Structure 1
């Protein structure tokens, strides 16, 4: 077992946030920020750009680090299934290239990805969104306020 790095992007536009829709093994839909695992030899910035392009089909600018999150699977729901997961996730505020829009057919989506969408930031709390503990801070960021903490700990 090892610790992995999983990068994520917060992309905001007109009071909406870009999210990835995934279908769980049980058929439920969950929502997450675009992102994925860093590959060997790749910088964190390169990883977030590649992952967003693969999942959404857009080129982004990595603007600033918002959060550093950990996910230690044995500490959360589905602990038995996720007991071997320990992921450190730098979460960046990113911006799209002018005139770019999300692709209807992304280049390389994850197998469980069923879509990408812009949702109103105020609707985020009503969705099965992860990491759910960041929803209030994401709403604040969309309002122009900086996050209170960068390191947010082991959250799901």
Structure 2
């Protein structure tokens, strides 16, 4: 098995964070940050911009690295199904380039993506949001505080 790079974007506006709304095979709804896998020959910054455009339909500026996260599937819920997954995820603070509306249908959404939703940051802990351990730090970022640690470890 190989380790892959999966980039993510934190986009906060008016105390709300932009999330991708997904539905799993059991019909459960969860929320994640926009992002996806880096492609061969693409810089991490290019991957963030491409993934946000594909999933949301907006162009972003990559402002700064907030977190470096790992996901080692064998260590988390659904470990048997995810035992061959190991992803390293740089998570960047991004800003929207223009204030145009988000399109109703993004150009290339993930197959399990059912929508895009601005979520009030202090509501993240009440939702099935992943990576859930980042919810308190995202609340601090929305309040104007920088994260205390960049490397957050193997979290789900």
Q: Match for residue 136 of structure 2?
A: 136
Q: Match for residue 70 of structure 2?
A: 70
How many aligned residue pairs are there? 156
Q: What TM-score, normalized by structure 1, do the two folds share?
A: 0.99
Q: Match for residue 103 of structure 1?
A: 103
Structure 2 Cα separation of the partners of residues 117 and 84 of structure 1: 30
Structure 2 Cα separation of the partners of residues 52 and 99 of structure 1: 15
Structure 1 Cα separation of the partners of residues 98 and 110 of structure 2: 26
Q: Shift of the alpha carbon at 1:103?
A: 1.5
Structure 1 Cα separation of the partners of residues 8 and 55 of structure 2: 11
Structure 2 Cα separation of the partners of residues 124 and 86 of structure 1: 24
Is this contact kept in 1: 2:67–2:150, CA < 8 A? yes
Q: Does 1:152 find its partner at 2:155?
A: no
Alignment of 1:1-156 (within 5 A): 1-156=1-156
Alignment partner of 1:88: what SS?
strand
Alignment partner of 2:68: what SS?
strand
Alignment partner of 2:136: what SS?
helix
Alignment partner of 1:51: what SS?
helix
Alignment partner of 2:11: what SS?
strand
Q: Shift of the alpha carbon at 1:98?
A: 2.8
Task: Give the stretch that moved more between structures: 121-130 or 95-104.
Answer: 95-104
Alignment partner of 1:66: what SS?
strand
Is this contact kept in 1: 2:71–2:86, CA < 8 A? yes
Q: Shift of the alpha carbon at 1:70?
A: 0.1
Q: Shift of the alpha carbon at 1:122?
A: 1.1
Structure 2 Cα separation of the partners of residues 83 and 52 of structure 1: 27
Q: Which contiguous aligned blocks of 4+ residues in structure 1 show a shift greater than 6 angstroms? A: none
- CA-atom RMSD in angstroms: 0.6
